[in-house]
Structure 1
Amino acid sequence: MISKDNAEHYIWGERCDGWYLVKRQDMLVIHEKMPPHTEEKRHYHAVSRQFFFVVKGVLTMELEGEKQEIAALQGIEIPPEAKHQARNDSDDAVEFIVISHPTTRGDRTDLPDLA
């Protein structure tokens, strides 16, 4: 049985949290938490397909230059090679699950932020 309470934890960015729920080469499932007004680096994955599912709050996803707001109990699929950036533009924390197939480890190219 795996939960946020017993999963391997890590910190990314300056203040964001991640918990590995499944950590295999063929699939990666992570529970992530972004405090208010945080963001990840804009990037893409050459092979990995991702699905972001919001558990709490509102996640702003920039996908190929289009900004979308994903509310709790909504999700968005990110195909391979799609340039994207997850952000929390709100005043509250956002929590979400990211499913990646296969793993994103070694399959990420960072990009400059959009102006």
Structure 2
Amino acid sequence: MSKVVSTDNSEHYQWGEVCDGWHLAATSGLSVIQERVPAGAQEVRHFHHFSEQFFYILQGQAQLEVAGKVLSLTAGQGVHVSANTPHQLKNVSSEILNILVISTPPSHGDRVILE
């Protein structure tokens, strides 16, 4: 059954000690997460064996490193990251970053951290 979802009624989790995520859609084939990334916060550089992802900026500015290429993104822009592609998201601005991360299949349990 379909229902209207938002950060108010979705499962919440924290990552990186200061960042928030909300599972807006979570099925065996699709994950849609809204994330809030404070100024200066970042995820670790990693890749996924099976999951491909799309990062879409709702608010703020992001720096997304994809296979060694650094991309700057602002609200209304997005980037597709293929499976087996190293990447790292950073908020290098002084404002909060709000993004959507869409993964298929879901990336949980399919994350290899790169040092």
TM-score class, shorter: over 0.9
> Stretches of 4+ moved more than 2 A in 1?
none
Q: 1:56, 1:105 → 2: CA distance? A: 24
Gap runs ≥5 in structure 2 = none
Residue of structure 1 in register with 2:19 after alignment: 16
The one-letter code matched in structure 2 to 1:97 is L
In the TM superposition, what are the counterparts of 1:30-49 in structure 2 within 5 Å?
30-49=33-52
- 1:110 paired to 2:109: no
Residue of structure 1 in register with 2:66 after alignment: 63
C-alpha displacement at 1:8, in angstroms?
Answer: 0.6
2:72 is paired with a residue whose SS is: strand
| Percentage identity across paired residues of the two chains | 39
Residue of structure 1 in register with 2:96 after alignment: 93
C-alpha displacement at 1:65, in angstroms?
Answer: 1.0
TM-score of the two chains, using structure 1 as the length reference:
0.95
C-alpha displacement at 1:69, in angstroms?
Answer: 0.7
Residue of structure 2 in register with 1:83 after alignment: 86
How many pairs are equivalent?
112
